[in-house]
């Protein structure tokens, strides 16, 4: 419910950072900072990231998984500040490219606590990982085994994990379901590819088989798929012991932990996940006669997603065919997720009181695509008008990290808020930045 005179009710802020607090005249503060003041100071569109929320979510994972390695998935969002927060809160890091890896190490993250992923790692990716001393490399295809071994050199060794496809279908959209055969990631459990890859790793003295890895999908809100994957992975570990006489010491179950984007939506219960996996791992290993391996998980979205807010300014309001379109000064260039996955958000008007009755509207972007929709069929005040501010919660993950310069619109800035102070982390990408890349003529 919303009181259009005073602003959002407290129970409407369930998907916002814990620090979110109503202000007079429909204002809203995050991290003790008025979002309207952020928009005025830094312009719009602008991303706001609550440092306290990020840190609290890191600690919640550490508390739930004290005996496991919690690796923040950098693909969700990465910056120098994010690297520092994750490091200071005791998490490891999961990266997918030399770019993410180099940024993390330059920002002071210990490379031994980093895992490198990727279904198609370039020679530069692998060379950078070996040069910097990355802790683990996840093998995703048979061809990587010899390539990594050759790149290690005659006197070196590299710990590796073999990524297994356990045959588990899970995730919020078919484009993010990565645990089944027929997609680009990993090595199949069912056709024997995973077992053959482990045998090939064992045949390379420069590679140290540290364990197995799987990632079954993204935006998963149920514990059961993880339990199924765990049991199948332990079964494969027992098979490896029986065939090769090797007991692998590590099991990485990936991430994909789901969050709520709108009030009332489900989210993965992380403490319940931890309790269940801990019990299932001990039980499965006991049945198989295996020692319990060290567990690793890779949350990304669940750490940073709910800590972010996108703030836009309304440019136009159009009534056509019975529909209301509210066009803002951003769009799919700073958030392609609705176009890619049909993601639904719960935006709200901030910074201005309204006595108008709510009306169903669709918030759209400024780009030349019919699919440039940021939030379809949402409730906004009926008098929403150009110049208003629209804030979108749960905008911390896969927004800026997937942003582009479509239509030569620069990417928005990122502002951190914490204890009443705002500071710029990433500046706005300007037209000058874009022109400097164009060296032809």
Active site members: 368
Residue 12, token pair as written in the block: 């409407």
> Of all helices (H) and strands (E), which one includes residue 228?
helix 224-244
- Is-contact 172 218, C-beta < 8 A? yes
- What phi, psi does 320 have (nearest 5°)? -150, 130
Task: Please tell me whether the peptide bond between 45 and the residue prior to it is cis, using omega within 30 degrees of 0.
Answer: yes
Instruction: Compute the distance between CA of residue 311 and CA of residue 414 in angstroms, rounded to an integer.
Output: 11
Query: How many Cβ atoms sit within 10 Å of the Cβ of residue 347?
Result: 22
Residue 421's contacts (CB-CB under 8 Å, 6 or more residues apart) are 32, 33
Burial (0-12, 13-18, 19+ Cβ within 10 Å), 43 = middle
- Is-contact 197 142, C-beta < 8 A? yes
- Is-contact 91 64, C-beta < 8 A? no
Q: For 295, what's the count of Cα atoms within 13 Å in the CB-facing half-sphere?
A: 25
Residues in the chain: 441
Residue whose C-alpha is closest to residue 211's, from 291, 131, 144: 291
Residue 314, token pair as written in the block: 């309304």
Instruction: Compute the distance between CA of residue 187 and CA of residue 178 in angstroms, rounded to an integer.
Output: 11
For residue 175, CA distances in Å to 59, 225, 236, 402 come to 30, 17, 26, 15
Instruction: Compute the distance between CA of residue 293 and CA of residue 273 in angstroms, rounded to an integer.
Output: 17
Residue 427's contacts (CB-CB under 8 Å, 6 or more residues apart) are 413
Residue whose C-alpha is closest to residue 38's, from 354, 347, 29: 29
Instruction: Compute the distance between CA of residue 130 and CA of residue 152 in angstroms, rounded to an integer.
Output: 7
């Amino acid at each position: 419910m919303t009181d259009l005179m005073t602003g959002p009710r407290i129970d409407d802020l369930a998907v916002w950072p814990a620090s979110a607090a109503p202000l007079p005249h429909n204002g809203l503060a995050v991290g003790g900072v008025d979002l309207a003041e952020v928009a005025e100071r830094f312009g719009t569109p602008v991303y706001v990231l609550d440092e306290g929320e990020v840190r609290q979510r890191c600690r919640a994972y550490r508390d739930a998984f004290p005996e496991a390695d919690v690796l923040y998935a950098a693909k969700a969002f990465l910056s120098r500040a994010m690297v520092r927060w994750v490091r200071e809160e005791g998490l490891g890091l999961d990266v997918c490219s030399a770019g993410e890896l180099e940024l993390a190490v330059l920002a002071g993250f210990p490379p031994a606590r980093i895992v490198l992923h990727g279904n198609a790692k370039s020679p530069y990716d692998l060379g950078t990982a070996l040069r910097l001393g990355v802790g683990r490399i996840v093998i995703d295809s048979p061809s990587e085994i010899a390539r990594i071994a050759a790149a290690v050199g005659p006197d070196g060794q590299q710990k590796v994990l073999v990524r297994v496809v356990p045959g588990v279908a899970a995730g919020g959209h078919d484009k993010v379901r990565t645990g089944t055969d027929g997609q680009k990631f990993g090595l199949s459990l069912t056709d024997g590819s995973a077992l053959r890859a482990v045998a090939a790793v064992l045949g390379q003295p420069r590679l140290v088989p540290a364990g197995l890895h799987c990632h079954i999908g993204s935006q998963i809100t149920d514990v059961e798929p993880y339990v199924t994957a765990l049991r199948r992975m332990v079964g494969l570990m027992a098979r490896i012991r029986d065939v090769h006489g090797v007991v692998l010491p590590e099991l990485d179950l990936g991430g994909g932990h789901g969050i709520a984007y709108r009030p009332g939506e489900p989210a993965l219960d992380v403490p319940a996940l931890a309790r269940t996996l801990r019990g299932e791992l001990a039980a499965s290993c006991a049945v198989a006669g295996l020692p319990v391996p060290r567990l690793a998980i890779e949350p990304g979205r669940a750490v940073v997603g709910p800590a972010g807010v996108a703030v836009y300014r309304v440019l136009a309001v159009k009534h056509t065919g019975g529909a209301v379109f509210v066009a803002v000064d951003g769009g799919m260039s700073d958030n392609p997720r609705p176009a890619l996955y049909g993601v639904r958000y719960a935006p709200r008007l901030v910074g201005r009181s309204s006595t108008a009755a709510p009306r169903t509207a669709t918030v759209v972007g400024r780009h030349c695509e019919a699919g440039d929709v940021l939030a379809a069929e949402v409730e906004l005040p009926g008098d929403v008008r150009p110049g208003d501010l629209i804030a979108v919660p749960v905008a911390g993950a896969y927004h800026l990290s997937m942003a582009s310069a479509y239509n030569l619109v620069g990417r928005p800035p990122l502002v951190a808020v914490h204890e009443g102070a705002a500071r710029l982390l990433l500046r706005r990408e300007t037209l000058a930045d874009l022109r400097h890349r164009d060296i032809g003529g």
